[in-house]
Amino acid sequence: MMMAQIQQKDREDYTAKKFVMWLIVFSSFMVFAAWTSGFIVYIGGKGQGLNLKMPTTFLYSTVTIILSSVTMFLASKAAKALKFAQQRMFLILTIVLGIVFFVLQLTGWNDLVSIGAYIVNNNAAQSFIYILSGAHLLHIVAGLLLLLNSLVGSYRNISQVKRIFWMDMSAIFWHFVDIIWIYLYVFLLLNQK
């Protein structure tokens, strides 16, 4: 009886924490929506878009983050099936793909600089690329920290309920950063000229 009450209490705490994660995801989405709306208002008033072609490096980073969502899904599925070796392997792959994404984004910034699109220039629309992708990179760092926490938790002697909770939290946030990047990339592609 006492054990059932403790497990029920844990579930309630996890539910509240998961709700907070959804609030973080929603508020982050609203920030990105506000910035893209600001971009639309800016180019509408100035009549000046990005006036550049998006570097193909951003396409490679998009493919990379989509693959990382697949590996995250597989890690979550393995954790729920109690296949801890597979969970760890897919978590490590997700982390590696997240790091590759980060490096590709920095390379994309370098590509932008090489074509003369600086963060501060006469076309503030181009600065939005750095603002949007830079804020997204901060979210990637947060996501990588969550993934590392899930990976460390997979090695620790913790309850399966807690292990699944951390996997769920990581998955919610990681899939969010994937969706946000796809949204941002398509948005920037549509406004590149």
Query: How confident is the model over 2-22, as pLDDT tens digits?
Result: 445 545 554 557 777 888 889
**Residues spanned by the domain of 178:** 2-190
Q: Total domain count for the chain?
A: 1
How far is residue 127 from each of residues 27, 55, 86, measured CA to CA in Å?
Answer: 23, 15, 41
For the entire predicted model, the pTM comes to: 0.88
Q: Average pLDDT for residues 31-57, to the nearest whole number?
A: 87
For the residues of 121-186, what is the DSSP string, one character each? Answer: SS-HHHHHHHHHHHHHHHHHHHHHHHHHHHHHHHHS---HHHHHHHHHHHHHHHHHHHHHHHHHHH
Spatial contact of 162 and 153, defined as CB atoms under 8 Å apart: yes
Spatial contact of 147 and 97, defined as CB atoms under 8 Å apart: no
Which CATH number do you get for residue 167?
1.20.120.80
How high is the pLDDT of residue 25?
92
CA angle 19, 25, 28 (to 5 degrees): 140
Q: How far apart are CA 94 and CA 40, in angstroms?
A: 33
